[in-house]
Amino acid sequence: EIVMTQSPATLSVSPGERATLSCRASQSVSSNLAWYQQKPGQAPRLLIYGASTRATGIPARFSGSGSGTEFTLTISSLQSEDFAVYYCQQYNNWLLAFGQGTRLEIK
Amino acid sequence: QVQLVQSGAEVKKPGASVKVSCKASGYTFTSYAMHWVRQAPGQRLEWMGWINAGNGNTKYSQKFQGRVTITRDTSASTAYMELSSLRSEDTAVYYCARWAAVATIGAELYYFDYWGQGTLVTVSS
């Protein structure tokens, strides 16, 4: 099964600054990559699918890029509500896997 | 509106089985696949498997193969996840999630668009 590796594990950023989160797949997943945000005690929320398409209602400050094995989630100007854990997730050949998550914390 | 409502928290002894339900409403149940994802305390999301709610076909993560069974009852618009031979490491919140697809030029893109509220399963002697 494909293994997803996210980096860094924790990212400390000040409000208003840019955050860049990375996700690497152990083999190509084409553009079958989604990003989710999870806050404590809540189910994950879809941000990005198809590596770069924002989900309905997601602010434009969230953007995704990449294909194959290297992917990036960028949050252009962090708001207080953006501090959370972010997961990438791939889909390939009827199997799925999540990364271990990046915790985005206030600096 | 789409809703996925899961059954309540469970406490089980090691070696037992647990069956969690996920009742769907607000859409045609058989038109979407349903997945199960779990999250141990402070840990990552972990994909377990899925069921095509239309034809009942299933696919499981290799990690859970042989211990997990996902079924559905189309008359009740409900999906089920049963995990057997429970051990303490299975203590986690278990989520059901709807699998959506969108067609684009050259590919179909998939994602989880709705999630259940989660069911805490505690395994303890």
The pLDDT tens digits for B48-106 are 999 999 999 999 999 999 999 999 999 999 999 999 999 999 999 999 999 998 888 87
A64 neighbors A72 (Cβ within 8 angstroms): yes
Nearest-CA distance from A15 to chain B in Å? 25
What is the H or E stretch that residue B86 is in? none
pLDDT tens digits for range B1-14: 999 999 999 999 99
Residue B122 has pLDDT above 90, yes or no: yes
Residue B109 has pLDDT above 90, yes or no: no
C-alpha–C-alpha distance, residues A20 and A102, integer Å:
10
Task: Give how far Cα B25 sits from Cα of B3, B59, B80, B82, Å.
Answer: 5, 23, 15, 21
B110:A97 CB<8 A? no
C-alpha–C-alpha distance, residues A100 and A94, integer Å:
20
Mean pLDDT confidence for A3-26: 96
C-alpha–C-alpha distance, residues B5 and A48, integer Å:
24
Using a CB-CB cut-off of 8 Å, the residues of chain A touching B118 are: 43
For an interface test with A, give the residue of B35, B39, B44, B60 to mutate (most A CBs within 10 A): B44
Mean pLDDT confidence for A4-31: 96
Residue from A61, A87, A69 nearest B112 by CA: A87
Q: Is the peptide bond before A15 cis (omega within 30 degrees of 0)?
A: no
Q: Return the pLDDT at B107.
A: 79
Dihedral angle, C-alpha B90, B101, A103, B91, nearest 10 °: -10
Token pair of B123 as six digits: 């395994």
pLDDT tens digits for range A46-82: 999 999 999 999 999 999 999 999 999 999 999 999 9
Q: Give B119's contacts (C-beta < 8 A, 6+ positions apart).
A: B6, B7, B8, B9, B10, B20, B93, B94, B95
| Residue % of chain B over a pLDDT of 90 | 93
